[in-house]
Amino acid sequence: MRQQPVLSVISVIGTALAIFLIMVVVMLNQVSVAPFAPESNRDRFLHAKYGSIKMDDGGGNNYDSNGPYSYKSIESLYKNLKGAEATTAYTSYNISGNVNVVGEPPVKIDYIGTDADFWRVFDFTFIEGKPYDEAAVESGLPQAVITRGVARKVFGGTDVIGREIQLNYAPFTVVGVVEDVSTLATSAYAQVWIPFTVDHSSTSIWNGVMGTLSATILVKDGVSLEEVHEECQRKLDAYNKEQGPNNWNFVSRGRPYDQEANSVAFSSNNEPDVKGERRRRLIVYLILLIVPAVNLSSMTESRLRRRVSEIGVRRAFGSTRSAIIRQIIMENMAVTLLAGMVGLLMSVAFAYLADAMLFAQPFSSTLNPPKADVSMLLQWSTFLWALLFCFVLNLLSTGIPAWRASRTSVVNAISGRQN
Amino acid sequence: MNKKLITQICNEWKSNVWLAVELLIVSVVMWYICDYMYVRFANYFDNRGFDIEHCYLIEIDNLTEQSPYFVENQTYEMALADKEELLERLARRPEIEAAAYSNNSYPYNGSNSGISMVLDTMYTYGYVIRRSVTPDYMKVFRYEGANGETPEQLAEMIRRGEILTSEELLAHYGKNMKEFVGQEAFLDRDTVTHHRIGAAIKKVRYTDWQDWGMNQTIVLLLEDLNYGNECVVRVKDNMDKNFRENLMAVSGKELRVGNLYIRDVKSLADLRDNFQRSSTLAIRNYLTGMGFLMLNVFLGLLGAFWFRTQQRVKEIAIRKVSGATRRSVFMRFIGEGVLILSVVTLPAIALDFWIAKSGLNAWFNNEYLNWDRLLICAAVSYLIILIMIVVGIAIPANRAMKTEPAEALHDE
């Protein structure tokens, strides 16, 4: 490397740049599927954010409608599943509201209404107190769980269990304080959580079966998502039977979705195109790998030309072709890994510093910008991906030049001629 | 000279093949991105039909029973009167220019209601957005009449119960709605109630970046205020500082009427950014991709020519000794890069054509393949890559030329 500093520096920059950009793309995808608190069980989640219903009125007219569910529908369709640890129902979108203590100016917050299972499905870190329980939800007690940030803004501290806040001019008792949640935890995110039975926008119902709630199922450890999926389908058929043929009937559209499908399910009336999304990502990865690989391989070739005589000497002393190829690839792998580390570090730093801009979510129900921390960005899978991409990039960029270099005949090689 | 250049390229063909392959891939991807940007920006600079500057959405909600201020046993009429009173209080505030209620209507909304219209024997085609509004809505968003009607005039028409329709509502019959102003039409499947067409209005765009075919609208009076799920206001140009904070600060005392209270105030600009995020994110990603490819072309050429010019220091020296100017030697190296780029541009355009023919690129004006657009975008991508080539080659070539001929040749 030291012999050709400029070429080496360019190769390292090129490799680092490629790995940097690829890892940013990986992270963009990762924040929506990889686990982090309070959505640490994303691999065991099944989501039903929206439902779809249709009706045949018997007179040849067909109607259809899409949107969040009523509580009764969620209870009938997704609760009490054999394969599930728990199922939670919560307001489908964040509602912006005001909290304050009487007499103080209002603080703008995002809130949602939830049932008690919400706190079992999502793993929040409680700093103070505990969540509201089933009894509180059933009897509609005005209790609230708030984040550390809200507690600080409203009370100036977190030791606030039992104190009263005004949420939209109605009094609530604070029962728990949790760590702030990133908006990237798209299902669990809010700043204030209250029993959904206290909030009229969470209990409103339309078309009899629809409302404003979404469901997330936490599948039992060891039970496959497919099993629960089938169970849900059976429940849906039973619920439709209950409704009667000339009433609103649910259409599954493949619901409930796993985390990946849910992250690309933007409209309630279309099934998410998971395969298409994967294909698009693959094309992006390919372009990001092939263009720099072509570049780097022309540089590797230049570098190898200077070493033809060395290769010739080795071959003359009995080194096999494959040994030479292996050696060249391994040498380059060291450079690639070094550059890959630089690229990975750059991408993590960039993602951390520019999180609000980078991870801004489409169709978000909150205007608050997303926050990413290192625990979200640096997962084991991140390293594996980076390593894999380095390996592929290295193989692509040195494979062909190394193979060609190894084929140079001994005499030509030593005399400095190629081929 | 050109013959020599080609000979030289042939001599270096092995590394030039790499370069050509790279430039081919980059040309096609670059064209794709240019095409995408062309379409997005062409849409972006098209007329929107409304103005959201200084506009805010006031989110109004009802108190819950838990609130000590909750008024029990309210009748429908009382709720209606409260709603009217709240709008009046808002409109009376010195910083507010106009205030209105509407239903699924404000720009960048995402929630829509549909409507259809029958005029004589002509029917509307596709999705037409129903915008039920109180008259001042026209002043809040400054809708524009196709015949130059002012927002005030349009508001007056709404007040009279007339309907306003997009100009292109019957474009599929080759008609402009301006021809039918003053005539009566039926809405939806109702064949009893006549609606007088007050004016044709300019296209009201659904998004800034895309053309979703959601630009047709019929605006009509919101008859029952209780269905007005949105409250929108326009703030006077010079009083738009801290509007949200100031309004929220007094909202508890001055703007709570009956069971109604203001939950939040959002600027339309924020709502727009959120609504269009998927488009702006895509544009950001494509631009990043473009920058990445440009850097790669630059680095690739820098690397390739660094080595090449080093090898050719002697050749350069001989040329210089035989009277070649700096410029001519320089042009020779650049010419090599440009020639390779030009050669791969032809197959690149063929690939571009194939992509457009298969409908894999951006959609604009009802087509994927448009020769003008294709060639313009191919030319732009050619120029961008050309700049990278010149910069990438100039640096090593310049360095090689600095070597004095005597020094370069003293081995010989």
> ipTM of this predicted complex?
0.73
Strand stretches in B222-355, DSSP E: 230-235, 260-267
Instruction: Report which residue type is found at B143.
Output: Y
Chain B contact for A171 (CB, 8 A cutoff): yes
CB B56 within 8 A of CB B212: no
Query: Hey, how many other C-beta atoms are within 10 angstroms of the C-beta on B160?
Result: 11
Q: Are the beta carbons of A105 and B270 separated by less than 8 Å?
A: no
pLDDT in tens, A362-381: 767 777 888 877 777 777 77
The yes-or-no verdict on residue A336 having pLDDT over 90 is no
Q: Where are the alpha helices (DSSP H) in B68-121?
A: 76-92
pLDDT at res. A151: 96
What is the spatial distance between Cα A403 and Cα B411, in angstroms, rounded to a whole number?
A: 34
Taking alpha carbons only, the member of A206, A219, A182, A198 closest to residue A88 is A219
Q: Is residue A42 part of a domain?
A: no
Taking alpha carbons only, the member of B192, B90, B96 closest to residue B140 is B96
Residues A14 and A88 reside in one and the same domain: no
Residues A121 and A72 reside in one and the same domain: yes
What is the spatial distance between Cα B11 and Cα B19, in angstroms, rounded to a whole number?
A: 14
Give the closest of B252, B281, B296 to A14, CB-based.
B296
Residues of B in contact with A301 (CB under 8 A): 14-15, 18
The dihedrals phi and psi of B102, each to the nearest 5 degrees, come to: -155, 170
Q: Kindly give the confidence (pLDDT) of every residue in chain B, 412 residues in length, as a single tens digit, with 9 standing for 90 and above.
A: 566 666 666 666 666 787 788 888 888 888 988 888 888 888 888 888 899 999 999 999 999 888 889 999 889 999 999 999 999 999 999 999 999 999 999 999 888 888 999 998 899 988 899 999 999 999 999 999 999 999 999 999 999 999 999 998 998 999 999 999 999 999 987 888 999 999 999 989 988 887 767 889 999 999 999 888 899 999 999 898 899 989 988 888 899 999 999 988 999 999 998 888 888 888 888 888 888 887 887 887 777 777 777 777 777 788 778 877 778 878 888 888 888 889 999 999 999 999 888 877 777 777 788 888 899 999 999 998 888 888 888 888 887 777 776 776 665 5
pLDDT in tens, A198-241: 987 777 888 888 999 999 999 999 999 999 999 999 999 999 99
Location of structure tokens 């190894």: A406
Q: What is the mean pLDDT of residues A36-47?
A: 93
CA distance A312 to chain B (A): 20
What is the spatial distance between Cα A31 and Cα A101, in angstroms, rounded to a whole number?
A: 35
Quick one: closest CA in B to A141, which residue? B66
CB A269 within 8 A of CB A79: no
Q: Which of A234, A263, A292 is the last residue of a domain?
A: A263
Residues A382 and A235 reside in one and the same domain: no
Q: What is the mean pLDDT of residues A346-354?
A: 87
Q: Are the beta carbons of B64 and A17 separated by less than 8 Å?
A: no
The dihedrals phi and psi of B66, each to the nearest 5 degrees, come to: -70, -20
The yes-or-no verdict on residue A130 having pLDDT over 80 is yes
Residues A213 and A343 reside in one and the same domain: no
Residues of A in contact with B66 (CB under 8 A): 142, 170-172, 198
Residues of A in contact with B302 (CB under 8 A): 10
Chain B contact for A95 (CB, 8 A cutoff): yes
What confidence category does residue A40 fall into, taking pLDDT thresholds of 50, 70 and 90?
Answer: very high
Q: What is the mean pLDDT of residues A342-348?
A: 88
Residues A175 and A153 reside in one and the same domain: yes
What is the spatial distance between Cα B278 and Cα B258, in angstroms, rounded to a whole number?
A: 40
pLDDT at res. A417: 52
pLDDT in tens, A146-183: 999 999 999 999 999 999 999 988 999 999 999 999 98
pLDDT in tens, B301-348: 777 777 777 777 777 788 778 877 778 878 888 888 888 889 999 999
Q: Which of A220, A245, A263 is the last residue of a domain?
A: A263
What is the spatial distance between Cα A132 and Cα A172, in angstroms, rounded to a whole number?
A: 12
**Degrees to nearest 5, angle at CA A292 with A291 and A297:** 105
Q: How many domains are there within chain A?
A: 2
pLDDT in tens, A267-307: 777 888 889 888 888 888 888 888 888 777 777 777 777 77
pLDDT at res. B191: 83
* A194: CB partners within 8 A, 6+ apart: A111, A112, A113, A114, A132, A142, A143, A144, A145, A167, A172
What is the spatial distance between Cα A362 and Cα B392, in angstroms, rounded to a whole number?
A: 38
Q: Is residue A45 part of a domain?
A: no
Residues A30 and A92 reside in one and the same domain: no
SS (H, E, C) A260-291: HHHHCCCCCCCCCCHHHHHHHHHHHHHHHHHH
Residues of A in contact with B295 (CB under 8 A): 17
Taking alpha carbons only, the member of A260, A299, A310, A330 closest to residue A33 is A260
pLDDT at res. A92: 92
* B232: CB partners within 8 A, 6+ apart: B55, B56, B57, B58, B99, B100, B102, B106, B137, B140, B141, B268
Q: Are the beta carbons of B296 and A295 separated by less than 8 Å?
A: yes
pLDDT at res. B411: 57
Interface test with chain B among A23, A291, A346, A363, by most B beta carbons within 10 Å: A291
| Poorest-pLDDT segment among A110-119, A410-419, B316-325 | A410-419
Instruction: Establish, for the pair of chains A and B, how many residue pairs have beta carbons separated by less than 8 Å.
Output: 128
Average pLDDT, chain A: 86
The yes-or-no verdict on residue A401 having pLDDT over 80 is no
SS (H, E, C) A72-91: HHHHHHHCCCCCEEEEEEEE
Chain A contact for B331 (CB, 8 A cutoff): no
Q: Which of A220, A241, A263 is the last residue of a domain?
A: A263
List, as ranges, residues 143-172 from B with C-beta within 8 Å of A. none
Chain A contact for B274 (CB, 8 A cutoff): yes
What is the spatial distance between Cα A216 and Cα A212, in angstroms, rounded to a whole number?
A: 14
pLDDT at res. A91: 95
> How many residues are recorded in chain B?
412
Location of structure tokens 């009217």: B84
Chain B contact for A251 (CB, 8 A cutoff): no
Residues of B in contact with A299 (CB under 8 A): 300, 303-304, 307
CB B193 within 8 A of CB B187: yes
The dihedrals phi and psi of A142, each to the nearest 5 degrees, come to: -75, 80
Residues A147 and A211 reside in one and the same domain: yes
pLDDT at res. B162: 96
Residues of A in contact with B70 (CB under 8 A): 170
Taking alpha carbons only, the member of A164, A149, A160 closest to residue A104 is A164
Residues A20 and A136 reside in one and the same domain: no
Chain A contact for B252 (CB, 8 A cutoff): yes
Q: In the structure, how many helices (H) and strands (E) does chain B have?
A: 12, 12
CA distance B375 to chain A (A): 23
Tokens of B279: 């488009």
List, as ranges, residues 15-44 from B with C-beta within 8 Å of A. 15, 18-19, 21-22, 25-26, 29
Q: Is residue A55 part of a domain?
A: yes
Can you say how many angstroms the Cα of residue A158 is from the centroid of all Cα atoms in its chain? 30
Beta bridge partners of A213: A69, A91
pLDDT at res. A23: 86
Q: Is residue A349 part of a domain?
A: yes
Tokens of B356: 């457009």
Q: At A154, is the secondary structure helix, strand, or coil? A: helix
Residue A357 exposed, middle or buried by CB count within 10 Å (0-12, 13-18, 19+): exposed
Chain A contact for B74 (CB, 8 A cutoff): no
Q: Is residue A43 part of a domain?
A: no
pLDDT at res. A418: 46
CB B221 within 8 A of CB B159: yes
Q: Are the beta carbons of B306 and A7 separated by less than 8 Å?
A: yes
What is the spatial distance between Cα A331 and Cα A335, in angstroms, rounded to a whole number?
A: 7
Query: Hey, how many other C-beta atoms are within 10 angstroms of the C-beta on A388?
Result: 11
The yes-or-no verdict on residue A128 having pLDDT over 80 is yes
pLDDT at res. B12: 66
Residues A181 and A220 reside in one and the same domain: yes
What is the spatial distance between Cα B346 and Cα B396, in angstroms, rounded to a whole number?
A: 28
Residue A56: domain span = 50-263
CB B213 within 8 A of CB B126: yes
pLDDT in tens, B263-276: 889 999 999 988 88
Q: Are the beta carbons of A17 and B295 separated by less than 8 Å?
A: yes
**DSSP of B35-76, one letter per residue?**
HHHHHHHHHHTS--SS--TTEEEEEEEEPPTTSTTPPPS--H
